[in-house]
Each structure stands twice: as C-alpha cells, then as structure tokens.
Chains A and B, each alone.
Chain A
C-alpha cells in the first residue's frame, strides 16, 4: 500500500548547459500542456476516505443547535467532526492573528464558513451525509462596510480582541490602521495651483486559480500524519496545523503536491487541518478536494477598497502634496489584512516624488467574505486610484498625462512617504518613455479590403454586436510601484540544501528546498542557478517538503530573490567545499590551486584564465557534498504606528503599461486591442519566464479592469461563486502584450534581480481604465467597469 500520483523528483538539463540568463524550458511544461501533470486533485491512496465540509449558508448567524446523529448513522460514514471534537485547546489559526476557528464555534461570521466535517468512503456519500447534519441558525445583523462596522451599535465581529493590533485601532472592527505623515501637506497644499480630489472603488477580485484546493492526509504509525498538499508555504501551514492536532511539528510531515496556480489564494489554510483531523480520527487516509463552487468559499479574495485621494500641483506640473484615505474590507477574519494595510499605505503615493503627504489606510472586519493576499497585495487598489488622479491632474493642468508623470517620476535616491530611500534603480520615467515609444497597433483592423467586417477584431467579437457602429478608440497609460519580499521587519529568510556527487561518471547537483512551485517557474530557475554556480549540466530538483528548512512563501514576488538567493548561497558553500577537497587531494599537482581564483565550469575546476585543473569527478570521487544553508536579504523594520516612518521594504519594482482599447460606446462593450508593458527586472534569470510573468500579471489586471468581481448580496452572501458568472479573461479577451524588459541591476539582490510577478498586475488595470475614459469621456471611478457604467444604465 502506498501513495501514488505524488510528486517525484524532476531531473533537468541532461542536454543543455542552461545557466542563468537563458530561457530554459520548464520541466513541468509539457506535462501540464498534455494533461499528464499530477495536481493535488489527482492524489490517490488505497483505502482512502473522502472528506467533505459543511458550510454556513448565512453570513452572520448564531448556531443555536447542531445535530450530527443522522449523518453519523449513514452507512459509509466514518466520522463527523464539529468544533467540540477538536483534540486540543488550540482551536483557531491565522497567518498573523489567530482569529479563525478551525470549525465554527457557536457563531458563523461569513457565508461559507466551515461548520462540520464528514469522512466517508465515497465523496457522494460524504456530501449526502453532510446534508443530513441539522444546524439551527439564528441570523444576526450583518456588518458590510465602514459605516456599519463603526456605527455606535455595530455588532463586534471579534469580541475581546487581544491581538497586537487591538491596542492601537480606533474601533474593534478595524483590524489594523496605518497612518503615514511626512512633510506638511497643509502647507504644501497652499502652494498648489490646482487641486484635484477623487473617490474610487475597487471590487472584490478572486485569484481564480484553476486547480482547486486539494490534499491528502495519511495517518502514520508513529501517531503523526503525512500531508500532501497544494499550498504556497509549507512551513507556515505546518506552524498553524501542528498545534491544532496536538502534534509536534516533526510528526506533521508535509510534501508539496502539484499546485494549479495560487496568486495569494493559498497563503491561508483551507482543508489542511480538516483532512488531518479526519485522518487521525479515522486512522485512514483522507482526501479532500473542493469543487469550483466550494473553492470560491475556500480561499480569501482581494480586498475590495474605497479610496479618497487629493493631489495638488503647481502650474508648471510639479505635485505639491497628496492626501489619501484607503479603506479595505478584510471580511470576517484577519488573514493578511495587516500586511495589506502596510502595503496600501506605504505605496499609496505611487512611483512619484511627493514630499508632503498625509496618508491613512485601514482594514475592516465585516461579515463579507474574508480577504487577504492576492497578486499586488494592497498596491493594486492604490495604483488604480493614484493613476486616475495623475490623469486628472494632467488634465487640470492641460498637460500630456505621460509627460506629467515623467516630470514627477521618482528615480534612484528618492525618498518614500515612509522616509525610506530608494537605493537601487527606479527607472520610472524611462519605463514610461519606452512604453509610449512602442509602435501603435493599427486602427479599424476589422475592416477588410473587400468591404466586409471581421467581427473578431471588434468589441463583442463573434457575438456580433457591432460592425463598427459606436466604436471609439482610446489610449491610456499607467505606472506602478510594488514592494518585493516580506516587509515591516519580518524575518524573511529561505533555506536550500544542495548535494553534489558523481553519478555514472557525471557530476549531478540535487537541489532541495521547501519552495512551493505554484506555476511561477521556480524549479526551472533553481536548476539554472545550480548550473551556473556549480558548473554542472545535470540538476535534480527534489520535491518540496518539510524535511528541509522553510523557504518562505511563494508570494510577494520574492521566491527567485530569496529562495533563489538561498540556492545560490548554498551552491557557493558547496563550491568552496569542492575547492577544499581539490586542494587537499590535488593541490600539489598545480600551483594554481593555491594562487588562482577558481571556478567550476562544464564539470571541471578551472582557473579564471580558463585553465583546467581537474574534473569534478576526480575531485569528488565517491564523496558527496551535502550542505543546507539559510539565506536572508537585508533586514527591514516596522512602520511607526503614528507616523508610518521606517525602512519597511526590501526592494521596489516598477512596471508601466500602455493600453489601447476600442469601446462600443452604445453597448458599453470593451475590446482591449493591445496592452504594452515595460518593466525593469534587474536581471532576467529566465527571459522567457519573465515575459510569461509579465503577460500573466497584465492579463489579471485586465480582468480586474473590465470583468472580474465577486458580487455580494445585501445579506453579505456570495452571488456568483462559479466560472459561469465570475468571468476571467479568455484568450479571446487577451490582447497582444508586447513587453520591453529593462535590466538595471539592483546591487543588493542576487544577480541584481528584481522580483517580477506582481508589478505588471498593478498598472495594467488603471491603464485599461484610462483608455476607456479617453474613449468615452466618462469619469469611471470604479473597477471592474461594467457595460452599465458606460451606458448610464
């Protein structure tokens, strides 16, 4: 008996040199394209049971009674668990604040909150048994926005808070609040020749990863459990899971399974604890996999936001000051809301030089769906608003919007609102120049020579809504700033274990990290780094698991930087050991062993003049070098709770977009014709993957601009939890995305690289909306833009 369809090591590069800077192909690419890749939903074990979650149909209700007897009586059911069955006193979890009950206790705070678990011998049996659980609810008034959250008689979402933010927030329904004050905004405002204000809204976007939450928990003979799981951060999961199970961490052994996308939505736990509880209770392996409907309730979403901004500028186009207030809806549980607040506030001024700012950002507790990490993480919401403000300011001054931005663009040496100096390249003006200089796509592409119409090139496409009538072109620009890595003093380290040995006469490196490969291509990059550092061609990437130290999260655009940095650092330690061995064994054969700078290239030890001293096989013999090392980037510090000052971020990344849209102004339908991007990536370790990340992020930003939103009823229930009604861009909605990659090295980062994944998600959305504004003349203060907004219906 054993687990099948679980991860196996992938060996890459038997025929290629494939070091950094080359576009080596991903080892999982062909498997994913042909449908052979084993995702977590493909996990299987003999004799396994299926877990099912009973969820709340209400957003806010007291659980008056809970009767599981009819479910337990159903043949094929092995266990039914509620809050009262939890094995220890640790019954809550959370990334930063442990406020989330493993199963609801007396009260549910959001639609879809887990109430009970069932394990049965068939998924359908488990589902039917769950339907037999009798839960009597008494509905409670719902908190849905700032007004209802902070009203005098507002129900408290979490009573008796003791978390580390509870002492400084203005109301218990505020998770965290971060003001940032720098300079004197009032005085600066008096210098302004024009002042523009705006109120903006961002709807609730979903990560919409294609592989639903899934995992397999296998009870072990030692009383522990083996968990195969699709997640973003194995060790953060482990830290939250083990105490609830009452097990030491070494008895909860986690292995990453095939992950079908994440985008922040797998930072929080979903079914991890549930599957382990059922496995330990029944003594049998338990698989849980959400369907698409349940997935919408199984992970947090992007914070919806309301943003108020005021900017001033002098007649010659210099920004005088900025004031803003950003209210993020965190939903029922904290998740990563405090960190999202930190990002939204510290990045709220955008990539511009503004010396006098008065900033406030906060996240609410409400009964809406919990919100947390999603690609762009607080910076997306701010970017939509400040870029709309830039266009408004430019218009008020009668200036070209790109020239106005370039005039105020930050560069290396600029000071952030937090007082942090940007001490690596910040080519904001150059990115805008480049994206504007790209050739424009042709106009009226739908007109063919014979006088016919190609509707595929028109808004509405094959739905045949226009043959050119009402279609107006618009062009819009935007630029954004995103931090890379975990901020505010977090110990954001990673770990890598690297083994070098000779197998069948060939040197082979094995890289073992706990990095979650969620589709970003980290495994490809790790192999490239090992080849470059160790001069080998064959690299094996071991499955990610908790037998090696933490790699940190696959989020915040950080993995190539931090775990890539750890792999490089460990490879360098391995190289030192190789040279030690070489000196000991062969040092007397050639004086260069003692005197020259030595490198590993093409399986050999060579001098920096290229002279070969020995083959790796000769140096290593039967010995394997096996080293595990941690690696850290420069430390950060928390933001002052009153002034927001502090060196809070590790690195900044920048991207600019130009959007070209055709709008059917009568029907309110939008076709994004082209979405060009220029981004500085410091160093492209894998240029093909870099372009892929930029195009993917750009497309996700397009989705937020024109279609993606989770809709919530006035009772805070989710109205569209399916891909039928939560629309994401198809390939027919995705325009050509020409990408101009700039590589200005950050001297503080490995290889000079800059995190890539998130920045393109920021500026894509405001660029598209600016283009729609240009086509329609409408103010458009909310995303996603719906046809109703464009037609006044």
Chain B
C-alpha cells in the first residue's frame, strides 16, 4: 500500500489525478475501520491531514462553505447558529474522540446511508464542491448519493468543501439508536423550515439505499401550510396535517431488515420522528421557544 502525503491542495489534486484509485483519508474514523476489518485494501492512501485549507470554513451571505475535513466538534462549537440541523446531527456522531477527528467531508466520501450528516444536509440544502485538476463543480447533495456507499465523484475528484445553506428558519434532527451514545443510526430524520421561500425540506437517513429527501411529504406539507395560511396565522399545524406528513415521510423510505432493526420499525420510527420534529420546528417558528438545550 502506498501512502501519499500531499502538503497542499494542488499536490493532493495532482496525486489523485495520478492515482485515481487512491482512497482519501483525513480523520480516518471510517477508512481505518474498513481497513482494520479487512473490508477493503486500497492500493494507495491519500492522506489529507497536511492540507490545512480543508480544516477551514467561511460563513457567507447565503451559505457556509465548510471545509471537507472540519471536525464535527468545530461544527458543534462554531456553527450552531448557521447550521442548527447539522450541529444537532454532529452531536450524535460517535464519541468525543470520533467527533474530534470525523468530518462532513468524510461522511460524504463514505456515502453510507447511515451517515449522520446526510439528513441535515438534505434538509438545509447543500452542494458538494468537487474538485479535480480539470476544474471545480458543485453537485447538489441530493444528486451526490448514487448508491450504497457510492457517490457522484469522478475518480480524479476530491471533496474540497460543502456549501450549506444558512438556516432561514428552525431545523431539527432526530436519530434512533439502541443506546444513548456511540451508535450507528437505526434510522434518522432531518427537517428544515424555510420561511423565506415558504417551503419545507427533509432528509431521511438509514432507511433507504441512499440518504433521501421525502419529496412527496415535503410537497404535501409545503402546500398544506400555504393553503391553511399557517405561515402567517400563528396557528399550530393541525394534527391531521402532521399525521399525513408523517405517513408520507414513512412511505418515502425503503428500509430493510438488518441486525440493527426491522424495516417495519424503521418506518414506524420515521413516522414518529417526522411528527415530533415538525411540532418542534413549528413551535420554534411560532416563537414558542421550547427547543432542546444540549451539552
């Protein structure tokens, strides 16, 4: 196994162009597990730890440009206001040690349906900045996941950053696991209200071959909020609307039975999480601040 240690982003791109099979590694929280379990034996590892640009972020007018290797700990500490959904999800990642090393870029590179970052990225709206020696392109996050642990990157591309829309309204994230820490999601759900556009976006994790948005549920809820005039009326979401939204979210999933949970439970849990997160975000939108206080 060759181990490449580029000092700069340009060197990293050149190395990736020269070794398209090279597996990039930053925090190593996923890649090293795969190697230790002998699930894969890459010919070349491309160590990005020296590329300092990847550990930085910029808060812009509309978006946060989050460097691919910014650890979850920094997201929690520094970006809770701009990216509340992602910060909530980041708190549920692994242990403190894992959160000090793991990053959103790593989650995207691995493209596991169980990655905790995916639902809030889908719900907030995000684009992946994919770069190669050929140039840069921005891939909408919902087009980025192409299959179980597969993504839309070309062999010579690396993830430079993720451009995530700054929250324009309340966001929530919920994850079911069978213990209270260090657990892979049985299923997860992210919800973002976008009052600016009077829309709602969602993200489902661990309940389909890829992370997905619950499209029909979003359309239904966006239409229902508009029809009932709820954005302006200050009223709560009628239970029938919440219930149908929850049912549509569950219907958008295509879960399987596995060691972590049954397909039936995953659908059921998504329904509960969709209903609850809608209640929490709408409460917050109405100003009934009863949001979670976290460590």
Contacts and interface: CB of A to CB of B under 8 A. Distances in A.
B290 A671 contact: no
A787 B269 contact: yes
A385 to B, nearest CB: 23
Contacts of A469: 276, 279
A129 B88 CA distance: 46
A291 B186 CA distance: 25
Interface string A438-482: 000000000010011111100011111111011000000000000
B184 interface: yes
A70 to B, nearest CB: 18
Contacts of A454: 292-293
B180 A462 contact: yes
Given A787-B269, A793-B268, A452 B293 contact: yes
Contacts of A671: 180
B265 A791 contact: yes
Interface in A692-748: 706-707, 711, 719-720, 722, 724-725, 727, 729-733
Interface stretch (A364-372, A558-566, A661-669): A661-669
A245 B265 CA distance: 53
A727 B269 CA distance: 20
Contact of B180 (A470, A719, A733): A733
Give the interface size class of chain A: 35 or more
A490 interface: no
Interface in A759-774: none
A708 to B, nearest CB: 10
Contacts of A787: 176, 178, 186, 261, 265, 269
Contact of B291 (A452, A460, A669, A720): A452
A467 B174 contact: no
Nearest to A669: B176
B276 A727 contact: no
Interface string B269-282: 10011001001100
Contact of A720 (B186, B259, B268, B292): B259
Contacts of A667: 176, 269, 272-273
A725 B260 contact: yes
A456 B92 CA distance: 11
A464 B265 contact: no
A720 B258 CA distance: 10
B82 to A, nearest CB: 18
Interface residues of B, number: 43
B196 interface: no
Contacts of A791: 265, 268-269
A241 B33 CA distance: 35
A711 B264 CA distance: 19
A786 interface: yes
Interface string B232-274: 0000000000000000000000000001111011011100110
B265 A461 contact: no
A15 interface: no
B183 interface: yes
A451 B177 contact: no
Interface string B162-189: 0000000000111111111111101000
B42 to A, nearest CB: 14
A464 B172 contact: yes
A456 B294 CA distance: 7
B269 A730 contact: no
A655 to B, nearest CB: 24
Nearest to B291: A452
Given A455-B294, A719-B259, A462 B178 contact: no
Interface in A652-676: 666-669, 671
Contact of A467 (B38, B92, B181, B280): B280
Contacts of A730: 95, 179-182
A451 B289 contact: yes
B154 interface: no
A722 B37 contact: yes
Contacts of B262: 788, 793
A711 B262 CA distance: 13
A787 B175 CA distance: 13
Interface string B1-40: 0000000000000000000000000000000010011100
A732 B181 contact: yes
B74 interface: no
Contact of A465 (B175, B179, B279, B291): B175
Contact of A452 (B88, B182, B290): B290
Given A720-B259, A793-B268, A462 B179 contact: no
B178 A727 contact: yes
B194 interface: no
A727 B292 contact: no
B179 A733 contact: yes
B150 interface: no
Given A462-B91, A791-B265, A707 B179 contact: yes
Given A453-B291, A460-B180, A291 B172 contact: no
A296 to B, nearest CB: 12
A456 B181 CA distance: 10
Nearest to B280: A467
Given A671-B180, A733-B179, A787-B265, A462 B92 contact: yes
A464 B181 contact: no
A668 B292 CA distance: 20
A54 to B, nearest CB: 13
Given A455-B293, A460-B176, 4 more contacts: A460-B174, A464-B175, A725-B184, A791-B265
Which 6 pairs across A and B sit closest by C-beta, in order of nearness?
A461-B180, A793-B265, A793-B264, A732-B181, A463-B175, A452-B293
Interface of B: 33, 36-38, 88, 91-92, 95, 172-184, 186, 259-262, 264-265, 267-269, 272-273, 276, 279-280, 289-295
Interface of A: 127, 291, 293, 448, 451-456, 460-467, 469-470, 666-669, 671, 706-707, 711, 719-720, 722, 724-725, 727, 729-733, 786-788, 791, 793
24 contacts: A453-B293, A454-B292, A456-B294, A462-B91, A463-B183, A464-B92, A465-B174, A465-B273, A470-B272, A667-B272, A668-B265, A706-B178, A707-B178, A711-B259, A719-B259, A722-B37, A727-B183, A730-B182, A732-B179, A786-B178, A787-B265, A787-B269, A788-B262, A791-B268
